[in-house]
Amino acid sequence: MNNLAIGRLSVQQRLLTPKEPFDRRYDLFISAVSWESRNVTALDAIGGFDGPVLLLRFASSRPATDAAKDANQTVLCGMCPNHKVLALNQSVLFDANADRIAAELRERAEAKGMPLRVLIDISCIPKSYVSYLVGLGFANGFVSKLDCLYSEGRYQLAGASTLGGPLSIISEGDWSSLLVPYLEAAETFPSQRDLLVILGGEIGFSLRFIERYEPERLGIVFIRDGIDVASLVGSEKAAYEAITSDPSLVRADFEIHDVVGVLCHVGEFCRSAERHIVGLAIGSKAQSLALALAALDIENLEVVCRVPAGYSDADVVATGRVFHYAIEDRFEPSAYF
């Protein structure tokens, strides 16, 4: 299934084919300036963008990454002649950055006099900000259409663990939690709750995070073929066994890019119990996007993202596959103009 209606929204997903014509009828394109080599892949796949562009550049925690960011920014700006670079604090400083992003979106929607049609490259934007843009845009009527591009990445797992400790792929230090604004559940202080986790590869750190919630029922979405179980050792193996042996576990496996499949699963999981449900977005960008979209329609679901102490400067190389997700408000007339 590649098409789905959920509440007011319709969602379609597809793999872009090389050199295919791409509809550019958007009021704004948003991307991030990153050190990752896949940073320019999605934009290159659609042949650049000549409309208004907002490039989010988060301050670096390591000066060494600035050279890679500068190089990617030069390429991005070359493909986007009508661009603005929004210089932000480090990405872990969410509140101040979120306010500035909200001001940009609000001003552009007010200037147009109707909701915007926005295209976002989510490949290198932290999950907390992807989720926030979804909630901010649709909850406030700033957007009628919020399409996303996702350049699939190849993560280097070997050698990422040190001294037998938890596997660190892109995050560093202890994780704190962020309840994403606009994606809160209706009930604020539940007596019982379930936990639905969009899981990535950092299993040891994830287990610590999961254990804080003490859920009645645990649901985990794994990336299909994303974890080589046979190669797990030490604390990573112990963490995987602890998670998968939970008697309340409801497990599902989806491809790393599958938004529609995860959306369907989240809906089924939430409908099967009336308890408060915390959705933890600690897996792939695309699957976490699905969790954010579900929270707009499901009252007992809230989205929590992990905020690490910092991010490593490990590169994420593009596989070459770029996915397009068309997301629009089915009842907003301007979405069809």
Fold held by 171-311 = Rossmann fold (3.40.50)
Tokens of 261: 């499949």
Encode pLDDT of 285-334 as tens digits.
999 999 999 999 999 999 999 887 667 778 889 999 999 999 999 987 76
Q: How far apart are CA 7 and CA 45, in angstroms?
A: 31
pLDDT for res 252: 96
Pick from 55-64, 88-97, 249-258: least confident: 55-64
Look-up of token digits 């596997």: 167
Give CATH 3.40.50 domain extents, the chain. Answer: 3-155+315-336, 171-311
Q: Is the pLDDT of residue 274 over 90?
A: no
The domain 3-155+315-336 having CATH identifier 3.40.50: the answer here is yes
**Residue 278 predicted with pLDDT over 90:** yes
The per-residue pLDDT for 195 is 95
Beta-strand runs (E) in the chain: 3-6, 9-15, 28-32, 53-58, 83-88, 116-121, 143-154, 171-179, 193-199, 218-223, 249-254, 276-282, 301-311, 317-329
Q: For residue 223, what are the contacts with CB-CB under 8 A and spacing of at least 6?
A: 199, 200, 201, 253, 254, 255, 256, 283, 284, 287
Helix axes 203-211, 234-244, angle to 10 degrees: 50
The pLDDT value given to residue 202: 79
Q: What average pLDDT does the structure give for the chain?
A: 89
pLDDT digits (tens, 9 = 90+) for 152-194: 998 765 444 444 455 555 655 677 899 999 999 877 667 788 9
For the stretch 190-246, pLDDT in tens is: 778 899 999 987 788 888 888 888 889 999 999 998 887 877 888 888 888 988 998
pLDDT class of 39 with cuts at 50, 70, 90: very high
Position of tokens 């940073």?
39
Distance of alpha carbon 204 from alpha carbon 167, whole angstroms:
6
Task: Find the mean pLDDT for residues 15-37.
Answer: 93
H helices then E strands: how many in the chain? Answer: 8, 14
Instruction: Please tell me which residue, 136 or 169, carries the higher pLDDT value.
Output: 136
Give pLDDT tens digits for 95-109. Answer: 999 999 999 999 999
Residue % of the chain over a pLDDT of 90? 66
Query: What value does the mean pLDDT take over residues 63-89?
Result: 95
Distances (CA, A) of 137 to 89, 250, 290: 21, 31, 15
Give the model's confidence band at 30: pLDDT under 50 very low, under 70 low, under 90 confident, else very high.
Answer: very high
The whole-number pLDDT of residue 314 equals 80
Whether the Cβ atoms of residue 104 and residue 54 lie closer than 8 Å to each other: yes
Give the pLDDT score at 163: 43
